[in-house]
Structure 1
Amino acid sequence: MPFVTLPNNIKLYYELYGSGTPIVFIHPTSMGLLTFKYQKPLSKHFKLLMYDLRGNGQSTHHHEYMSISTLSDDLYFLLKELKLKEVFICGYSNGGCIAQEFAIKYPDYVKGVILIGGFSEVNTFLLRTEFLLGILTIRFGGLPLVAKAISRAHAKSKAFYQELECYINKSDKKMVSHMYQIGLDYVATNRLQQIEAPLLLVYGQKDYYVHSYQYAFQKYVKNVEVVYVSNVKHQVPTLKGEELNAIIHQFVDKNK
């Protein structure tokens, strides 16, 4: 199985598909690379890198302090080991925090940034409540409850529901809780002007509680494009995979 071992002996599980311009996909807390199952058809046109964050899916972990910056460093090491550079970074939900942090810290590696349901900090009541609910559920109800809720929201079929639920339950409970917390604490708004690459914001048309987050990106990042995907809330990669793939394809072709 393909793993890259970090300097601290954490092993990151990854999968590579296709060839050409590389696109890296970063999943939200707990969901693992299975989040992007419906993006695999893009491998007909591009090289796709999908991986499990430390403590998620099939990647290992240490119970040590980490931050969003730490997770961006993990990605930097992974790309170096795989000899990939000038990549497009695509982060979904909380995974978008890692994507923008990577773009700020390692601009030479980034050709473009794609944020699906993205935000530069958690500063609204509804989003903050969602993060706190995730933390409390993990602490008192355990990971299986989170796995059921996330899988139910993202699945179009019973088979994918079961597959995703099983994959989420591979994650480490303490790591998942910690990742929710560092996502809640993360702030990049005051550094967004450091993102040099073109930025694509993709929001579900019905994902009303994150729409306002686009304005900070539009204010501070020079090259920003916003696209709304109709008839969906937050779960764009799984519920509107074909539409998302077309949007990503167009953006990468325009900026590669």
Structure 2
Amino acid sequence: MPYVSINERVRLYYEEKGEGPPLLFIHPPGLGHVIFRQQEPLARHFRLILCDMRGNGRSSPSDVPITVPLLADDVSVLLRFLGIERAIICGYSNGGSIALDFALRYPQYVEQVILIGGFPEVCTPLLYGEFLLGISAAKLGALSLISSVLAIGHATSRHERKLLKQYVRRANKRDLDTAYRAGLVYCCTKQLSSLQAPLLLIYGARDYYIHPYIAMFRRYVPHADVVFIDRARHQIPTKHSCELNNILRVYSRRKSLERKEEHACPKKEDKIK
């Protein structure tokens, strides 16, 4: 099985498939790379990279308390190990915080940023309460409860529910606790104004408790694109995979063409020179 060593004690499990523009998915606490199984058809268009963040799935437990910047640093190690100069970074839910932190601190590696149900901080009552529940369950070591809740919420079949439940149970209890705590306190809202890479925000049309964060993105990242998926709530990668995969494919192609046109057509001041 493929692993990348972060240091002598921590190794990350990863999978890669396909050829084309590198596309890296980042999962939220507990779920591991298997939450993106239904994105595997994208390997026909991308060099698809899935990984388990430290403390999750097949990866090693963390040797230090987890923070969002720490996980973003792990992403940079993985990309360098794979010889990838620039990638499309796609984060789901709290995995979006890792994607944002990575894009803000390692812009040279970022081609595009895509957030699925993402947020730059946790400041609304419903989302705050959800994190507190996760912290409480993780602190009690209730992995069975957490795995059941996440599996039932995301699965579209009995087989998928069993797979997700088993994989969540692989998470390190201590790391799951610190990951939820790290996500709760992380905030990069004001730093968003320095984000230069194309930003796509994908939300479920019925994911109402996340919608308030759209205004934050629009304020600090005016160039961000926002897409809503009809009838969808938060669990887009599994329950609305066809729509999501199509959006990712079309958006990436459009941004790639725009970039080529920019390079082909010099700016007016460049022409004057």
Same fold (TM > 0.5): yes
Query: In 2, Cα distance between the equivalents of 1:176 and 1:15?
Result: 22
Residue 126 of structure 1 corresponds to: 126
Residue 113 of structure 1 corresponds to: 113
Residue ranges of structure 2 left out of the alignment (5+ in a row): 257-273
Residue 230 of structure 1 corresponds to: 230
Q: Is the 8 A contact 1:111 1:255 kept in 2?
A: no
Query: In 2, Cα distance between the equivalents of 1:138 and 1:69?
Result: 21
Query: In 1, Cα distance between the equivalents of 2:65 and 2:159?
Result: 36
The RMSD of aligned alpha carbons is 1.0
Q: Is the 8 A contact 1:197 1:223 kept in 2?
A: no
Query: In 2, Cα distance between the equivalents of 1:77 and 1:131?
Result: 28
DSSP 3-state at the match of 1:201: strand
- Measure how far apart 1:231 and its partner are: 1.2
- Measure how far apart 1:127 and its partner are: 0.3
Residue 260 of structure 2 corresponds to: none
- Measure how far apart 1:223 and its partner are: 1.8
Question: Do residues 43 (structure 1) and 43 (structure 2) align?
Answer: yes
Structure ID, larger Rg? 2
Amino acid of the residue matched to residue 120 of structure 1? P
Q: Is the 8 A contact 1:155 1:238 kept in 2?
A: yes
Query: In 2, Cα distance between the equivalents of 1:8 and 1:232?
Result: 42
Q: Is the 8 A contact 2:122 2:187 kept in 1?
A: yes
DSSP 3-state at the match of 1:150: helix
Amino acid of the residue matched to residue 40 of structure 2? K
DSSP 3-state at the match of 2:247: helix
TM-score (norm 1): 0.98
- What stretches of structure 1 move > 2 A for 4+ residues in a row? none
Query: Structure 1, residues 145-198: CA drift from partner, whole Å, max 9, x if none?
Result: 000000000011000000110011011011011100000000000100121101
The farther-off stretch of 79-88 and 137-146 is 137-146
Amino acid of the residue matched to residue 95 of structure 2? G
DSSP 3-state at the match of 2:228: strand
Q: Is the 8 A contact 2:96 2:118 kept in 1?
A: yes
Q: Is the 8 A contact 1:127 1:210 kept in 2?
A: yes
Question: Do residues 215 (structure 1) and 215 (structure 2) align?
Answer: yes
The farther-off stretch of 5-14 and 103-112 is 5-14
Residue 92 of structure 2 corresponds to: 92
DSSP 3-state at the match of 1:30: coil
Query: In 2, Cα distance between the equivalents of 1:228 and 1:114?
Result: 13
DSSP 3-state at the match of 1:208: coil
Query: In 2, Cα distance between the equivalents of 1:140 and 1:61?
Result: 18
Amino acid of the residue matched to residue 51 of structure 1? C
Residue 82 of structure 1 corresponds to: 82
Q: Measured at CA, do residues 141 and 83 of structure 1 come closer, stay the same or move farther in structure 2, by a change above 3 Å?
A: closer
The farther-off stretch of 132-141 and 99-108 is 132-141
Query: Structure 1, residues 129-148: CA drift from partner, whole Å, max 9, x if none?
Result: 00000111122361110000
- Measure how far apart 1:214 and its partner are: 0.9
Residue 70 of structure 1 corresponds to: 70
- 1:194-205 to 2 correspondences below 5 Å: 194-205=194-205
Question: Do residues 181 (structure 1) and 190 (structure 2) align?
Answer: no
Residue ranges of structure 1 left out of the alignment (5+ in a row): none
Amino acid of the residue matched to residue 10 of structure 2? I
Residue 14 of structure 2 corresponds to: 14
Query: Structure 1, residues 219-240: CA drift from partner, whole Å, max 9, x if none?
Result: 1114211011111210000000
DSSP 3-state at the match of 2:233: coil
Q: State how many pairs are aligned.
A: 256
Query: In 2, Cα distance between the equivalents of 1:64 and 1:211?
Result: 33
- Measure how far apart 1:8 and its partner are: 4.6
- Measure how far apart 1:63 and its partner are: 4.1
The farther-off stretch of 60-69 and 195-204 is 60-69
% identical aligned pairs: 42
